[in-house]
């Protein structure tokens, strides 16, 4: 498990205004009077590692390597809005697909490599730190309390914003989730994609068991 420092007031997340403005996720944003480096305590961004089974998810063997517990809570709040109309109705199945998609998001981010992981860490930290969650995302409650309607409103605000920074944040969140969800075989039926042709799977050596 990656060992990342827990952020405290002495060791704040790397959110200095200048570094944020310089980055891909940063762009040109005026942060107003929010002080990014003062008063940050208990901002836990260590990877979640193994977490307890989520409702119907029987197997808690997946080891999170990037997403922290707060990041997972963020995605648990966003995915019902990101995939409205596409998630199973049945609560256990629904919860399973949400949990499985979050695991795939984590796996995907591992392969992004350090530079873009750093960008996402800034984005997630911004969304998980109440002062910036409120001023930039206009989300008043913490993510576990956010309703699907509120999550959708937040996504639309960032999508429609005049600020390129927030558009970029919207695309980052929606793209990584969309690819992890619609790209997986459990969701192929939603796009009418039959999967790789069966005749090819039968004919090619890489699909035969060793």
Partner 1 sequence: MSMNDPIARGLASGWNVVDASKLTENQTAEADVVVIGTGAGGGTTAEILSKQGFSVILVEEGGLYYQKDFKMDEQTAYASLYQEGMSRTTADGAISILQGRCVGGSTTVNWTSSFRTPEQTLNYWRDTFGLEGLAPDVMAPWFEGREERHTMAPWLTPPNQNNSILRDGCEALGYSWQTIPRNVNGCWNSGYCGVGCPTNAKQGALMTTIPGALDNQAQMFHGLRAERLVMKQDRIDHLQATAMGSDGVTPSGVTVTLKAKHFVVAASAIGSPGLLLRSELPDPYDRVGKRSFIHPVSATVARMPAKVDPFYGAPQSIYSDEFNFKNGHDGPVGYKLEVPPLHPGMAAGVVPGHGQQQRDNLGQLPWLQSVIALLRDGFHPDSPGGTVSLRDDGSPALDYPMTDYLWKGIRQSYLDMAEIQFAAGAEAVQAIHMDAAWHTSWKEAKAAINELPMKPHRARIFTAHQMGGCGMGSNPEESVVNGFGEHHHVANLSIHDASIFPTSIGANPQLSVYALAARNSVRLAQKLAAKS
Binding residues (CB under 8 A) for partner 1: these are 24-25, 27, 81-86, 104, 107-116, 152, 155, 159, 164, 167-168, 171-172, 174-184, 187-188, 190-193, 196-197, 200-201, 204-207, 210
Output the smallest distance, CB 179 to partner 1, in A: 4
Please identify which residue in the block is written with the tokens 């707060």.
70
Output the smallest distance, CB 30 to partner 1, in A: 16
Our CB check for partner 1 shows the closer of 142 and 152 to be: 152
Output the smallest distance, CB 86 to partner 1, in A: 4
Our CB check for partner 1 shows the closer of 58 and 200 to be: 200
Output the smallest distance, CB 69 to partner 1, in A: 22
Our CB check for partner 1 shows the closer of 2 and 130 to be: 2
Our CB check for partner 1 shows the closer of 86 and 131 to be: 86
């Amino acid at each position: 498990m990656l060992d990342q420092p827990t952020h405290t007031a002495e060791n704040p997340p790397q959110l200095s205004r200048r570094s944020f403005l310089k980055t891909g996720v940063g762009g040109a944003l005026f942060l107003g009077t929010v002080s990014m480096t003062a008063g940050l305590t208990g901002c836990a961004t260590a990877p979640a590692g193994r977490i307890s089974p989520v409702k119907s998810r029987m197997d808690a063997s997946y080891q999170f390597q990037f997403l922290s517990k707060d990041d997972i809570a963020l995605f648990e709040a966003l995915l019902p809005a990101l995939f409205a109309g596409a998630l199973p109705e049945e609560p256990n199945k629904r919860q399973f697909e949400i949990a499985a998609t979050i695991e795939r998001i984590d796996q995907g981010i591992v392969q992004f490599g350090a530079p873009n992981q750093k960008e996402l860490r800034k984005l997630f930290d911004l969304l998980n730190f109440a002062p910036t969650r409120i001023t930039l995302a206009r989300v008043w409650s913490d993510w576990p309390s956010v309703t699907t309607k509120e999550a959708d409103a937040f996504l639309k605000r960032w999508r429609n914003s005049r600020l390129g920074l927030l558009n970029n944040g919207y695309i980052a969140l929606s793209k990584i989730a969309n690819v992890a969800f619609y790209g997986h075989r459990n969701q192929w039926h939603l796009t009418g994609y039959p999967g790789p042709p069966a005749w090819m799977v039968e004919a090619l050596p890489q699909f035969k068991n060793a």
